[in-house]
């Protein structure tokens, strides 16, 4: 049975990794560790539902008492889902605590498995989950450096009388930076530029923005992450 559990957990983690890498490369807030954590939790709920209640089953003709012990697992899934949702919050253009919410959900599955006596399943999933949270950190960093594009919306206030085209040209000439279609308006008579900027993976877009902000013809600059 334990080898069966190990095989199921390994397959779930492997398939979730494939999905998580794709989401991580796409720059989505729910990335590699989040997907693997959720898959591990869901896998263990499935293992518990199929293997964890065998000792409570009997033939119907031997008793007139009907008990559906799997309702425990289903209620835990629903309840811990609300708890995980409460951990997630939005900060500016980023979503926080997704991995924490997923790991809490998986930990609930571990506790349920231990509660019905599936100690091997709980131990295997604990090792897999801890390994995911610890060992995939450097993998996640490599994915971000290799695949993820930093995208920001810039609002640039140019000094009155200065040429906004020169500011845009300086931004276009920055290596590894591409621009969306800029809009140029006016703010109290001064040129105001709004533009979406994308940096190639591994490029520190913050340093490019700082250099642009330090120009003598730029009065102020603000940037917001692209959601």
Distance CA 57, CA 69 (A): 9
The span from the CA of 124 to the CA of 121, in Å, is 5
Average pLDDT on 43-51 reads: 82
Phi, psi at 80, each rounded to 5°: -70, -25
Contact between 137 and 164 (Cβ < 8 Å): no
- The per-residue pLDDT for range 90-132, each reduced to its tens digit, is 765 566 778 888 888 888 889 888 877 888 899 999 999 998 8
Beta strands in the chain (DSSP E): 89-91, 94-96, 150-158, 177-179, 183-187, 190-199, 218-225
Per DSSP, what are the bridge partners of residue 89?
96
Closest by CA to 57, choosing from 46, 45, 70, is 70
pLDDT digits (tens, 9 = 90+) for 80-90: 887 777 777 77
Average pLDDT over residues 151-169: 92
Name the residue ranges covered by the structural domains of the chain: 2-147, 150-225
Give the torsion through C-alpha atoms of 134, 139, 141, 144, to 10 deg. Answer: -140
pLDDT band at 168 (very low <50, low <70, confident <90, very high): very high
CATH number for the domain formed by residue range(s) 150-225: 3.30.70.60
Q: What is the pLDDT of residue 1?
A: 61
- Residue corresponding to tokens 């919306």: 153
Query: In the structure encoding, which two tokens stand for residue 179, read together?
Result: 């621009």
60 band by pLDDT with thresholds 50, 70 and 90: low
**N residues, the chain:** 227
Closest listed residue to residue 43, CA positions, set 68, 19, 10? 10
- Reading the block at residue 62, the tokens are 């031997």
Residue with tokens 């621009």: 179
Average pLDDT over residues 151-159: 92
Grouping H, G, I as helix, E, B as strand and the rest as coil, residue 203 is coil
118 vs 29: CA distance, rounded Å: 33
Give the DSSP letter of residue 148.
Answer: P
Tell me the whole-structure pTM to 2 decimals.
0.66
Pairwise CA distance, residues 97 & 81, whole Å: 14
Model confidence over 19-38: pLDDT tens digits? Answer: 888 778 877 677 888 889 98
The confidence band for 4, taking pLDDT boundaries of 50, 70 and 90, is: confident
How many CA within 13 A on the CB side of residue 69? 17
| Pairwise CA distance, residues 21 & 13, whole Å | 12
Burial level of 105, CB count in 10 A (0-12/13-18/19+)?
A: buried
| Average pLDDT of the residues in 199-226 | 88
């Amino acid at each position: 049975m334990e080898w069966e559990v190990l095989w199921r957990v390994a397959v779930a983690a492997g398939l979730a990794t494939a999905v998580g890498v794709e989401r991580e490369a796409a720059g989505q807030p729910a990335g590699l560790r989040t997907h693997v954590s959720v898959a591990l939790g869901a896998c263990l709920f499935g293992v518990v539902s199929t293997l964890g209640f065998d000792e409570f089953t009997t033939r119907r003709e031997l008793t007139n008492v009907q008990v559906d012990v799997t309702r425990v697992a289903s209620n835990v899934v629903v309840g811990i889902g609300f708890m995980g949702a409460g951990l997630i919050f939005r900060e500016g253009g980023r979503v926080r605590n997704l991995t924490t919410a997923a790991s809490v959900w998986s930990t609930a599955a571990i506790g349920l498995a231990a509660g019905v006596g599936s100690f091997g399943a709980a131990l295997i999933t604990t090792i897999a989950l801890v390994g995911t949270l610890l060992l995939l950190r450097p993998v996640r960093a490599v994915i971000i450096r290799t695949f993820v594009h930093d995208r920001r919306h810039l609002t640039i206030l140019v000094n009155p009388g200065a040429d906004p085209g020169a500011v845009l040209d300086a931004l276009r000439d920055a290596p590894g930076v591409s621009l969306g279609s800029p809009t140029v308006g006016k703010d109290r008579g001064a040129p105001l530029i709004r533009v979406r900027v994308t940096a190639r993976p591994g490029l520190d877009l913050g340093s490019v923005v700082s250099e642009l902000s330090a120009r003598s013809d730029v009065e102020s600059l603000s940037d917001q992450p692209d959601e």
